[in-house]
């Protein structure tokens, strides 16, 4: 049995702690906030309840595996249902595209019906290609710790595979190669923002994100994603994990042999055989382990969110809606220059779960991409101008036909600066952004240079978002192995099959 400290109780920290507790290690999660979940959190006010972070659940196999291996199935803990319909995409020219939940065939048919035969066929071709990339990338890169760039190139070991993956193509270029219709180009490019990246720099391989959504489904958790957070917390407790809120770690202690423990903000030292860091890799290597030779990559974007109570709600909209701007490219030009987007694409999520709003009202969550907080070239100082920017977002929404301003009964704003309490100080949601195909291999690794110190969570391999964060927990738990001394498997067998 090893004494393991997990620094940070976000989704990744809780997931790895539950897995390690079930492997009979002595595990403590030290979380600086007085609540667990990190970005996976709920905001409540004046009778309204919002998911303040994730609103969409995909690739449930990752969490099904976690819950099964640590006790009872996920479905015993949360109400899980397939989302139907899926997203309503509304474009600046007034046209729209209503997509079903997770089904590749029905998505292609919906595109054919609403945008035309050629567009439906092009979508089918893209998804065929995405499926081939997923089959190559999943076993070689996604569910394994990435050790070197060579591993990435092994994935594309023959000419056909190289042509399929097309590592020279960005997501933006992939969208142009596959679609003539600018609306489908925008729709595809939007997936770069699922990792806080620019579609012009993101690898074309990100076409696997819509493939995963359509193949493995879009899911809703009854009562919202906060229920998943609660289920993770109680699963940790059930396998004997010690959960310590309001406990900030300020340093990782180690000697020549490896990690020896952590230093707390109150000066106490907590000894440990193994430490798993769920904090952003930038904070780990910049503050908790400042003598390391880590070189930070480009930072991901953040998000600006408005949580609104709306009298009468928005019954004409779907649960998940995307309202595109006129000039999508310009949005990324603004973000790269560290400027809030003047005409942002707006994600609108209607929280329709019972009890999420007072009678006759609805909780509505708006989210736009935003530069991270700070002083750098691609950052913005979010300590001022917040109300003005919120007003701008609502005005843009009204220009797209959704006037909420005269019906707002509650408003809470969450800026990139607010996100600093659950991420690195700059509020970047996904840690490091993608920049080129090799950037997949350049993400901070799950194993640190200090023996016994591991990394889990959205700023590390394989990436951000709940599914990838859950996979990082699985990778790390497999590497650490069982308390009975059985060797960790060299190549973890992961929950996500092709």
Ligand X SMILES: Cc1cc2nc3c(=O)[nH]c(=O)nc-3n(C[C@H](O)[C@H](O)[C@H](O)COP(=O)(O)OP(=O)(O)OC[C@H]3O[C@@H](n4cnc5c(N)ncnc54)[C@H](O)[C@@H]3O)c2cc1C
Kindly list the residues in this chain that would bind ligand X in the complex (CB under 6 A): 7-13, 30-33, 38-40, 53-56, 248-249, 278-279, 283, 303, 305, 367, 419, 422-423, 429, 457-458, 464-466, 469
CB of 400 vs ligand X, minimal distance in Å: 21
Name the DSSP class of 251.
E
Helices within 403-465 (DSSP H only)? 416-419, 439-442
Greatest Cα pair distance in the chain:
66
Closest CB to ligand X among 212 and 494? Answer: 212
Closest CB to ligand X among 462 and 464? Answer: 464
Which DSSP string do the residues of 71-127 spell out, in sequence order?
SS-HHHHS-EEE-SS-EEEE-TTS-EEE--SS-HHHHHHHHHHHH-HHHHHHHHHHH
Closest CB to ligand X among 179 and 382? Answer: 382
Closest CB to ligand X among 129 and 372? Answer: 372
The tokens describing 341, both together, are 């987007």
Q: How far apart are the two ends of the chain, measured CA to CA in Å? A: 33
From the centroid of its chain, how far is CA 491?
24
CB of 421 vs ligand X, minimal distance in Å: 6
Closest CB to ligand X among 11 and 171? Answer: 11
Calpha distance 440→203 (Å, rounded) = 8
Contact criterion met (CB below 8 Å) for 191 and 201: no
CB of 275 vs ligand X, minimal distance in Å: 11
Closest CB to ligand X among 144 and 220? Answer: 220
CB of 389 vs ligand X, minimal distance in Å: 15
Closest CB to ligand X among 274 and 466? Answer: 466
Calpha distance 72→236 (Å, rounded) = 12
- Quick one: CA dihedral 399, 402, 408, 410, positive or negative? negative
Separation in Å, CA 85 to CA 97, 119, 480: 12, 20, 41
- Quick one: CA dihedral 435, 436, 438, 441, positive or negative? positive
Classified as helix, coil or strand, 263 is: strand
How many residues are recorded in the chain?
498
Tell me which residue has its CB nearest to ligand X: 10
> Strand pairing of 408-414 and 302-311?
antiparallel
CB of 359 vs ligand X, minimal distance in Å: 27
CB of 484 vs ligand X, minimal distance in Å: 27
Closest CB to ligand X among 429 and 453? Answer: 429
Calpha distance 207→193 (Å, rounded) = 12
CB of 203 vs ligand X, minimal distance in Å: 18
CB of 278 vs ligand X, minimal distance in Å: 5
């Amino acid at each position: 049995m090893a004494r393991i400290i997990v620094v940070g109780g976000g989704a990744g920290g809780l997931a790895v702690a539950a897995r390690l507790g079930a492997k009979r290690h002595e595990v403590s999660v030290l979380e600086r906030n007085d609540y667990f979940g990190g970005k996976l959190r709920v905001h409540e006010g004046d009778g309204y309840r919002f998911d303040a972070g994730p609103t969409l659940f995909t690739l449930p196999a990752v969490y099904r595996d976690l819950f099964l291996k640590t006790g009872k199935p996920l479905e015993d803990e949360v109400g899980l249902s397939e989302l139907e319909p899926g997203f309503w995409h509304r474009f600046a020219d007034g046209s729209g595209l209503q997509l079903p939940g997770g089904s590749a065939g029905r998505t292609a048919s919906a595109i054919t019906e609403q945008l035309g035969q050629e567009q439906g066929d092009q979508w089918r071709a893209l998804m065929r290609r995405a499926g081939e990339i997923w089959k190559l990338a999943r076993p070689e890169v996604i569910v394994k710790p990435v050790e070197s760039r060579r591993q990435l190139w092994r994935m594309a070991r023959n000419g056909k595979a190289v042509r399929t993956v097309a590592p020279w193509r960005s997501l933006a270029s992939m969208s142009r190669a596959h679609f003539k219709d600018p609306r489908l180009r925008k729709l595809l490019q939007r997936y770069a923002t699922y990792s806080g990246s620019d579609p012009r720099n993101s690898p074309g391989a990100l076409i696997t994100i819509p493939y995963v959504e359509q193949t493995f489904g879009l899911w809703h958790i009854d009562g919202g994603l906060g229920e998943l957070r609660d289920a993770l917390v109680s699963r940790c407790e059930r396998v004997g994990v010690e959960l310590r809120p309001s406990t900030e770690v300020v340093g990782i202690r180690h000697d020549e042999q490896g990690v020896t423990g952590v230093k707390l903000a109150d000066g106490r030292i907590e000894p440990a055989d193994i430490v798993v860091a769920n904090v952003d890799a930038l904070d780990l290597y910049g503050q908790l382990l400042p003598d390391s030779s880590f070189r930070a990559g480009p930072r991901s974007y953040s998000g600006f969110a408005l949580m609104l109570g709306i009298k009468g709600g928005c019954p004409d909209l779907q649960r998940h809606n995307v309202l595109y701007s006129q000039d999508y490219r310009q949005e990324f030009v603004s973000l790269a220059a560290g400027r809030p987007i003047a005409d942002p694409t707006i994600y609108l999520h209607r929280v329709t779960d019972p009890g999420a709003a007072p009678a006759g009202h609805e909780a509505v969550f708006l989210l736009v991409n935003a530069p991270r907080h700070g002083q750098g070239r691609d950052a913005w100082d979010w300590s001022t101008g917040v109300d003005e920017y919120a007003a701008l977002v609502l005005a843009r929404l009204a220009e797209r036909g959704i006037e909420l301003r005269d019906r707002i009964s509650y408003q809470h704003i969450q800026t990139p600066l607010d996100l600093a309490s659950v991420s690195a100080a700059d509020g970047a949601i996904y840690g490091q952004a993608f920049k080129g195909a090799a950037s997949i291999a350049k993400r901070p690794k799950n194993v640190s240079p200090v023996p016994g110190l591991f990394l889990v969570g959205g700023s590390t391999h394989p990436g951000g978002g709940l599914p990838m964060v859950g996979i990082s927990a699985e990778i790390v738990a497999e590497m650490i192995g069982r308390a009975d001394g059985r060797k960790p498997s060299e190549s973890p067998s992961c929950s996500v099959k092709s």
